[in-house]
Amino acid sequence: MISALQKIYVKNDQLKAYTLLSPALILIIIAMAAPMLVMIITSFNTQISMVEIDRTFTFDRYEDFFSKPIFSMLLFRSLKISFLVTVLTLLTTYPLAYYIAFYVKKNKMLWIILMTLPFWTSYLLRVFSWKVILGNKGVINSALVGSGLIDEPLGFLLYNQGAVVLTLAHAWAAFAILPLYVSLDKIDKSLLEASYDLGNSKFETFIRVTLPLSLPGIIGAILIIFIPTVGDYVTPQMVGGTDGRMLSNMIQSLFGRANNFPLGAASAVLMLSSVCIIAGIVTYITKKLTLRMS
Amino acid sequence: MYKKNNSLLVYCIFYFLFLYIPVFLLPIFSFNDSFHMVFPLKGFTFDWYIEMWNKARLHKALWNSIKVGVITAIISTFIALFAAKAFTRYRVKYSGLSYGALLLPFIIPEIIIAVAFIVIWTSMGLKLGLIPITISHILYCTPFCLLILISRMDGFDKSLEEASMDLGENIFGTFWRVTFPLLLPGIIASLLLSFVISFDEFILAFFLSSSDQTLPIYMWSQLRFPKKLPHVLALGAIIIVATSFIVMLSYWFRNLGQSNNNRGSHI
Amino acid sequence: MVNNDFIKLRNISKKFDDVIAVDSLDLDISEGEFFSLLGPSGCGKTTLLRILAGFEYPTTGSVFIDNSDVTNQTPNLRPSNMVFQNYAIFPHINVQRNIEFGLRKEKLSREELNLRVKESLKMVQLEGYEERFSNQLSGGQRQRVALARALVKRPKVLLLDEPLGALDKKLREEMQIELRNLQKELGITFIFVTHDQEEAMTMSDRVAVMNEGKILQISPPKELYNKPVNKFVSEFIGNINLLETSIIDENDKNLTLDILNIGKQDFNKNIFNSKLSENIFVALRPEDISIKKEKIETADINIKGIVKNVSFYGESTYFYVKVEGINKLLMVSNFVDQVSINENDECSLGINLENIKLVS
């Protein structure tokens, strides 16, 4: 009996593969799928006291969300900020990845390590550092005032959406550099030479060959920056002020002081679904645009 | 065609400064003899490091972070190791689907996972604390480990394992004598990086902690008070140096014994 | 007494998803034989070898080696060893430890191990390389290490998966001779997979030509060349001219064919190797056609043509000749350029009836 089972097992690659995959799949089911399911269910419930939740099905939390303008405003602002962060990060890191992929000959690895190392150091401290740099008594203002260039510190640097975008673009740079570099580095250099040889200028070659071939990297970067940053909490909390408050700060208070788990869950559900839809649209448009240009 | 491009190089240097100035700022102020983070610097002091040394709550938080980090690193690396083997060595049905599902925690905003965890944890009547933090960290780190280990496994040919089987070793012997030694640098890199990620992770820990603090939460709670700020800077400086060292080490391990053409794949 | 069915494959099929890689195939290989599996890529030859080694399990059928059924045995328990296409030298251990890798189960002493490793390295002429690592070896040396590592186990069967494919031409030819000599010396059964027909022809006792998961012909090299069983084999082995033809008349002994531009001819049925079918071709090797400027008196058939192209290959010269009524240029070879015929010259082609093969 056992040997017969063994025989089936030895011969069945699917069985072996899924045995190996099972711990990971169990993890995903227990620690991601199930909690998210419960979260979705909770978003259709009602908080009746500090600890009690009425489990009757209702759409009221979604109605609450859309009837109070602050929620939609925060959601829209979160999406806007993460969209701006994505664009800014892509634009600023593309030349970098391009340089490393095409111009750096020796020690490419060292460049990559140096460009991604800051990402691994404490997120909290990096964000805090921007607060120090941009603040009224911060590095930039104290330097400018000290040197006599201005009399009053520049107040517009900190506590607004711009500060949030800048800080996030700094924090997520590694997530753009890596996929962009990998896709650019894969491009066969003879393709670019062929394009050059066929009469395209360097710029035309870039638009018609390099850019479309780096599309997988661009799309990868869009997905891994746009989606996670929409839910960022630390940055708006530290450098955003009232102007830079995002939906995640609201969600945090719904699970904290405001103590309304169902409404918090509904906000989270709406945040995730809207960001996924928009990410899908952005990816689609990017694909079309790049291919159109070539 | 691609010999030199000075304007791009200049841009790269500026970007480099943009990346590093915020990172270097804190360690500089950690030696500054003042509560305020303002230039010009006042004077050089080790006081904040000494103060840091004497904070009992900080020690507790550090110990918690190390516990969570070590357990997270070991479990997520193990889970990823098996999964990487399945993806690289078998033609799995629906492999695209499972692969995508395993990478999801890497993309979904952490706050969503945090919220989902709180909801399920409290609805089951369980207490928040280090256990849900660790589980959520394992979930969050596994995609990183998986990517590292898959690229390592792609770096050596399946036929090496087949050769071992062919020469008389069974599955376990083959794993122990061929797969494991060849994967070891990748495994170490995966352990180190997942430890660093867990050690630095804030949001999940912030939502899911109760009385037990991890180090980032301790720092968060201290950052608000100017008087307590300097010793957090000292702590931050040490963390930055230590994590940089660990990450460098892990990069070094990842490239150990790797052929040149395989160096393009990172993370 | 030679064991004729030392290796026995019965009704072997292998399906990958919907692709049939090996199609209900039977095969017997004798002890001590140098046997080649030859075919274009994707013909199933490598899959068949991997079924023999135990890396793939057949969807149907059984595998016997030396009278024992190994169909469900894992590779580590089989009496066969393999030389991999990319050699699969373990990069983390040196040559010495690579070669003794498979001897762990034999529980030999250090001295015995060293002796065995030394012996096998001597066999492949690689003495003194014990301390080297894979990345310090050339392609040819890696190949020898892979060979030594497999042979040190004293297998009953050695499986070789295109082991010479990655070597340059000269080294490949040297290795062909060495492999052949080694096989004769050791008397081990070699099963050799290749897509290179020359390689298969020069080394093997018998060659099996495969296509689309089936074995089309198993013959000694000479027979394969001279008596191909069908059109595919005739085209795959060496160069050949195929002329369309149709059957006009048929009786017990003879076939009468109408060959384009040559006219009606009678053929004895026993020169026809394939099964009879409508679509038969007259097959002529380039060296079976003689070429001269004037009519060739000794030939049974003479055809006129115009030389379109002359290629000089050193030991022989190839002429590509346009003949009226035949679409393709005829390929004619001649040892050393005895006749001074240039491009665009008119020429005469001579064919002897006994050299004509019929295939379908």
At residue A273, the 3 state secondary structure works out as helix
Is A129 contained in some domain?
yes
CATH topology of domain B59-157+188-258: MetI-like fold (1.10.3720)
pLDDT for A165 equals: 95
Q: Which residues contact A254 (CB under 8 A, 6 or more apart)?
A: A260, A261, A263, A264, A267
Q: Is the per-residue pLDDT at C174 higher than 60?
A: yes
C103 & C210 share domain: yes
Under the banding of pLDDT at 50, 70 and 90, the label for residue C213 is very high
pLDDT in tens, C113-147: 999 999 999 988 898 999 999 889 998 899 999 99
What residue numbers bound the domain in which C212 lies? 7-232
Residue-averaged pLDDT of chain C:
87
Q: Does residue B92 carry a pLDDT above 80?
A: no
Q: Is residue C257 predicted with pLDDT exceeding 80? A: no
| pLDDT tens track for B199-216 | 999 999 999 988 888 999
User: Which of C212, C232, C252 is a domain's end point?
Assistant: C232
Residue to mutate among A119, A123, A124, with most B CBs inside 10 A, is A124
The reply to whether C18 and C39 lie within a common domain is: yes
pLDDT at A70: 92
A52: helix, coil or strand? coil
- Using CB atoms, pick whichever of C76, C82, C92 lies closest to residue B169: C76
Question: Considering the domain boundaries, does residue A40 fall inside one?
Answer: no
Contact: A21, B83; criterion CB under 8 Å: yes
Chain B residues lying within 8 Å of A112, measured CB to CB = 266
Amino acid at site B77: T
Residues C325 and C247 in one domain: yes
Q: Give the chain C residue nearest A9 (alpha carbons).
A: C72
3-state secondary structure of C308: strand
Interface test with B, best of A18, A27, A193, A260 (most B CBs within 10 A): A27
- List, for residues A122-134, the tens digit of each pLDDT value: 888 889 889 888 8
Nearest CB neighbour to B165, from listed C76, C105, C153: C76
pLDDT at B73 over 90: yes
Model pLDDT, residue B60: 92
Q: Please say if the pLDDT value at position B154 is more than 90.
A: no
Do C259 and C220 fall within a single domain? no
**Contact check, Cβ <8 Å, A24/B146:** yes
Q: pLDDT band at C261, cuts 50/70/90?
A: low
| Residue at which a domain ends, from C206, C232, C258 | C232
Which of the listed ranges A80-94, C66-80, C165-179, C332-346 does the model predict with the highest average pLDDT?
A80-94
Q: Does the pLDDT at position C2 exceed 70?
A: no
The pLDDT tens digits for B159-210 are 999 999 999 888 889 988 998 898 998 999 999 999 999 999 999 999 998 8
Say how far residue C239 (Cα) sits from the centre of its chain: 14
CATH code (residue C338): 2.40.50.140
Domain endpoint, select from C232, C251, C284: C232
Nearest C-alpha in A relative to B221: A124
The Cα of A7 is separated from the nearest Cα of chain C by a number of Å equal to 7
Whether C220 is covered by a domain: the verdict is yes
Residue C165 has pLDDT above 80, yes or no: yes
Residues of A in contact with C63 (CB under 8 A): none
Rg of chain A over all Cα atoms, to the nearest angstrom:
24
pLDDT value for A1: 54
Contacts of C137 (CB under 8 A, 6+ apart): C89, C95, C129, C145
Task: From chain A, pick out residues whose CB is under 8 angstroms from the CB of C57.
Answer: 10-11
Among B97-111, C5-19, C240-254, name the one with the lowest average pLDDT: C240-254
Question: Residue C95 pLDDT more than 90?
Answer: yes
* C313 pLDDT higher than 90: no
CB contact under 8 A, A261 and B122: yes
Name, in order, each residue with C-beta under 8 angstroms of A91's C-beta and a sequence gap of 6 or more: none
Tens-digit pLDDT profile for residues A138-181: 778 877 887 777 877 777 788 889 999 999 999 999 889 999 99
Beta carbons of C153 and B167 less than 8 Å apart: yes
pLDDT average, residue stretch B225-245: 85
CATH of the domain at C76: 3.40.50.300
C125 shares contact with chain A (CB less than 8 Å): no
Please report the pLDDT score of residue B264 as a whole number.
38
In a domain, A126, yes or no: yes
Contact B115 A120 (CB under 8 A): no
E strand map for chain C: 7-16, 19-29, 34-38, 60-65, 68-69, 80-83, 157-161, 189-194, 206-211, 214-219, 241-250, 254-259, 263-268, 281-284, 289-292, 301-312, 316-322, 330-335, 346-351, 357-359
When pLDDT is cut at 50, 70 and 90, the band that residue C157 belongs to is very high
Interface contacts (A, C; CB < 8 Å): 6
Check A35 against B117: CB less than 8 A apart: yes
In a shared domain, residues C153 and C293: no
pLDDT at B260 over 50: no
Chain B positions in Cβ-Cβ contact with residue C53 (cut-off 8 Å):
162, 166
Distance CA B60, CA B214 (A): 8
Rounded CA separation C198/C224 (Å): 12
Binary contact (C81, B166; C-beta < 8 A) = yes
Please check whether residue C1 lies inside any domain of the structure.
no
Contact A224 B106 (CB under 8 A): yes
**How many folded domains does chain A comprise?**
1
Q: Look up the domain containing A136 and give its range.
A: 69-293
Amino acid present at B225: F
> What are the residue boundaries of the structural domains of chain B, listed by start?
59-157+188-258
Residue A227 sits in a domain of what CATH number? 1.10.3720.10
Are B168 and C55 in contact (CB < 8 Å)? no
Q: Scanning every residue of chain B, which has its alpha carbon at the shortest distance from the alpha carbon of C133?
A: B257
Task: Look at residue B210 in the predicted model and tell me its pLDDT.
Answer: 84
Region of residue B257 (phi > 0: left; psi between -120 and 50: alpha; otherwise: beta)? left
Q: What does the pLDDT average to over C177-203?
A: 92
Q: Helix, strand, or coil here: C87?
A: coil
Does C154 share its domain with C253?
no
Share of chain C above pLDDT 90, in %: 39
pLDDT for res A32: 93
Search chain A and give the residue with CA nearest B98: A25
d(CA B159, CA C88): 6
Place of tokens 């979604």: A62
- For chain B, which chains pass the contact test of at least 3 CB pairs under 8 Å? A, C
- CA-based angle A13:A18:A24, to the nearest 5? 150
Query: Is residue C299 located within the same domain as residue C193?
Result: no
Among B203, B80, B211, which residue's Cα sits nearest to residue B143?
B80
Average pLDDT of the residues in C202-230:
92
CA distance A140 to A144: 6
Look at C102 and B178 and tell me if their CB atoms are within 8 Å.
no
Strands C189-194 and C157-161: parallel
Of residues C16 and C11, the one with the higher pLDDT is C11
Split into its structural domains, chain C has a count of: 2
- Is B159–C86 a contact, with Cβ atoms under 8 angstroms apart? yes
CB distance C21 to C13 below 8 Å = no
Q: Is the dihedral of CA B168, B174, B176, B179 positive or negative?
A: positive
Window 40-69 of C, Cβ < 8 Å to A: 57
pLDDT in tens, A208-253: 888 888 988 999 999 999 999 999 999 999 898 888 899 999 999 9
Interface test with B, best of C84, C100, C147 (most B CBs within 10 A): C84
Is there a contact between A11 and C74 if contact means CB atoms under 8 Å apart?
A: no
* Rounded mean pLDDT, B216-241: 85
Contacts of A7 in chain C (CB under 8 A): 72
Q: Where are the alpha helices (DSSP H) in chain C?
A: 45-53, 95-99, 110-123, 139-151, 169-186, 197-203, 221-226, 231-236
Q: Could you give the 3-state DSSP secondary structure of residue C304?
A: strand
> Is A268 inside any structural domain?
yes
Residue C180 sits in the same domain as residue C297: no
Question: Does C278 score more than 80 pLDDT?
Answer: no
- List the single residue in B5, B121, B219 with the smallest CB-CB distance to A99: B5
Report the C-alpha gap between B74 and B59 in whole angstroms. Answer: 23
Lowest model confidence (mean pLDDT) among B3-12, C256-265, C277-286 = C256-265
pLDDT at C181 over 70: yes
To test the contact with chain C by mutation, choose from A5, A11, A13, A14 the residue with the greatest count of C C-beta atoms within 10 A, namely: A11
Backbone φ and ψ of A5, nearest 5°: -60, -45
pLDDT at site A84: 96
Does some domain include residue A37? no
What pLDDT, on a 0 to 100 scale, did the predictor assign at position A139? 77
* C150 and C288 inside one domain: no
Confidence of residue B257 (pLDDT cuts 50, 70, 90): low
Contact criterion met (CB < 8 Å) for C74 and A7 = no
Spatial separation of the C-alpha atoms in residues A55 and A44, rounded to whole Å:
8
Question: Secondary structure of chain B in the HEC alphabet?
Answer: CCCCCHHHHHHHHHHHHHHHHHHHHHHHHCCECCCCCCCCCCCECCHHHHHHHCCHHHHHHHHHHHHHHHHHHHHHHHHHHHHHHHHHHCCCCCHHHHHHHHHHHHHCCHHHHHHHHHHHHHHCCCCCCHHHHHHHHHHHHHHHHHHHHHHHHHCCCHHHHHHHHHCCCCHHHHHHHHHHHHHHHHHHHHHHHHHHHHHHCCHHHHHHCCCCCCHHHHHHHHHCCHHHHHHHHHHHHHHHHHHHHHHHHHHHHHHCCCCHHHCCCCC
Which of B166, B176, B183 should one mutate to test binding to chain C, selecting the residue with the greatest count of C CBs within 10 A?
Answer: B166
Q: Nearest CB to A128: which of B82, B93, B223?
A: B223
B2, pLDDT greater than 70: no
Do C223 and C265 belong together in one domain? no
CB contacts, 8 Å: B140 with chain A: none
| Percentage of chain C lying above the pLDDT 70 cut | 94
Residue C275 carries which DSSP code? Answer: P
CA distance B108 to A275: 10
Q: Is residue C2 part of a domain?
A: no
- Asked whether residue A41 is domain-assigned, the answer is no
Q: What pLDDT shows up at residue A60? A: 86
Please give the average per-residue pLDDT across B111-140, as a whole number: 92
pLDDT (0 to 100) of residue B12? 92
ipTM (interface predicted TM): 0.88
Containing A144, the helix (H) or strand (E) segment is helix A139-146
Distance CA A174, CA A177 (A): 5
Most confident of A75-79, B121-125, C309-313, C339-343: A75-79
Q: Alpha-carbon distance C176 to B70, whole Å?
A: 55
Type of residue numbered B2: Y
